[in-house]
């Protein structure tokens, strides 16, 4: 099936550091609980049901695109989906978040993890991508979690404050850690490449918990695997976004690991972060999601400051520094998008 190119391609141009008519904007978790339409779907279906039903995943993917003047869409899925076919028992517990009932704690557990054939085990994600592409006039982003972030969920069994068991394996059984990360790189690269084959036009790798590591530990335990993942993804021929939180001390290592676009969270000034990275990569970010709860004048002030720091340089994609929060007012989302487009118009 021949797919139409997006009518609005400023996002893809910015990923390639090409001139654009105005700065593109999209928001991480833009399909989510802050929208009434999404809450209505979730009132009838569990999160996993929405993810695994292509028609529902496509519907919620398109909801923010129909409501806001966004410049990119991201497929609705969850970073933990690949863990189920690897052999882990995943549940989303109301009020608590994801729980893995058989976490991986030792070599035996890592060795038992199964390889994954994406179209067989995760084909519902690819079908959702195909359905969304039939309707979209903006580019579609595919995504996955990064090896460290997924490994931490697999080992801890859910969210963690100090990543005690994760770091215990890293430091105490590095050969087991490397085996786990190597398996994850294979699963994630196959999964992401399948998303491109299905129609994703950009890929984002979410390393949500990587800020828990020091630069030395990142270099030793994570960098080789991230480098391997981004090297494998190069064959996709689409822009690659490398995102993490709490990464102010890791930016140079992230760039070295790979990515055409490096995500910046709000803990580093955009101009300083970009200067450290070098201007041969694009950047994405970096408004604090909590600013969307401020008065409109404050929202506009902070948007203007980020645009000032970007200085009109090709390669800036406006986004939040992490995902949009569930209680975010819709009028604040409108305010950000309108301000970015108007103030950055070339």
In 3-state terms, what secondary structure has residue 140? strand
Any binding-site annotation on 30?
A: yes
Tokens of 21: 């008519």
Among 9, 10, 34, 78, the one annotated catalytic: 78
Query: Of 16, 42, 219, 220, which is the active-site residue?
Result: 42
The question of whether 153 is a catalytic residue gets the answer yes
Which stretches does DSSP call E strand in 235-312?
Answer: 240-244, 261-263, 282-284
Find the radius of gyration of the CA atoms of the chain.
19
Residues 6+ apart with CB under 8 A from 238: 196, 200, 201, 202, 203
Please check if 316 is assigned to a binding site: no
Report whether 78 belongs to an annotated binding site.
yes
Catalytic residue (choose from 10, 17, 133, 153)? 153
Q: Are 82 and 144 in contact (CB under 8 A)?
A: yes
Residue 315 among known ligand-binding residues: no
Active site residue 78: yes
CA dihedral of residues 183, 189, 192, 196 (deg, nearest 10): -150
CA atoms within 13 A on the CB side of 84: 16
Neighbouring-strand partners of residue 269: none
Question: Does 33 belong to an annotated binding site?
Answer: yes
Query: Annotation-wise, does 57 bind a ligand?
Result: no
Decide: 156 and 166 in contact? Cβ < 8 Å: yes
In the residue annotation, 276 being an active-site residue is answered as: no
153 assigned binding-site residue: yes
Check the annotation: does 73 bind a ligand.
no
With beta carbons less than 8 A apart as the criterion, state whether 215 and 155 touch. Answer: no
- Catalytic entry in 17, 29, 133, 339: 29
- Active-site residue 165, yes or no? no
For residues 256 and 223, is the Cβ–Cβ distance under 8 A? yes
| Residue 29 annotated as catalytic | yes
Among all residues, which ones are annotated catalytic?
29, 33, 42, 78, 153
Which amino acids are annotated as binding site, given as ranges? 29-33, 78, 153, 208, 322
Binding residues for substrate: 29-33, 78, 153, 208, 322
């Amino acid at each position: 099936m021949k797919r139409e190119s997006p009518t609005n391609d400023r996002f893809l141009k910015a990923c390639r550091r090409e001139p654009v008519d105005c700065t593109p904007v999209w928001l991480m978790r833009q399909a989510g609980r802050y929208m009434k339409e999404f809450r209505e779907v979730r009132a009838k279906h569990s999160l996993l049901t929405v993810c695994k039903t292509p028609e529902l995943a496509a519907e919620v993917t398109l909801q923010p695109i129909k409501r806001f003047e966004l410049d990119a869409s991201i497929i609705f899925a969850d970073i933990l989906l690949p863990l189920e076919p690897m052999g882990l028992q995943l549940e989303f517990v109301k009020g608590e978040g994801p729980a893995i009932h058989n976490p991986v704690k030792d070599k035996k557990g890592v060795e038992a993890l199964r390889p994954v054939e994406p179209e067989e085990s995760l084909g519902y994600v690819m079908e959702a991508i195909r359905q969304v592409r039939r309707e979209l006039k903006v580019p579609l982003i595919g995504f996955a979690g990064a090896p460290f972030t997924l490994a931490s969920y697999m080992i801890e069994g859910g969210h963690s404050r100090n990543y005690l068991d994760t770091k215990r394996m890293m430091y105490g059984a590095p050969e087991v850690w490397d085996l786990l990360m190597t398996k994850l790189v294979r699963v994630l690269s196959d999964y992401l490449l399948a998303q491109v084959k299905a129609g994703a036009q950009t890929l984002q790798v979410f390393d949500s918990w990587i800020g828990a590591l020091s630069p030395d530990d990142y270099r030793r335990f994570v960098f080789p695997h991230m480098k391997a993942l981004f090297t494998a993804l190069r064959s996709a021929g689409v822009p690659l976004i490398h995102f993490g939180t709490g990464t102010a001390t890791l930016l140079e290592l992230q760039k070295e690991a790979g990515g055409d676009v490096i995500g910046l969270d709000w803990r580093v000034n955009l101009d300083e972060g970009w200067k450290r990275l070098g201007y041969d990569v694009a950047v994405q970010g970096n408004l604090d999601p909590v600013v969307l709860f401020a008065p409109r004048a404050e929202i506009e002030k902070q948007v203007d400051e980020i645009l000032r720091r970007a200085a009109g340089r090709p390669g800036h994609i406006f986004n939040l520094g992490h995902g949009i929060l569930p209680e975010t007012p819709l009028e604040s989302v409108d305010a950000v998008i309108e301000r970015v487009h108007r103030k950055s118009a070339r």
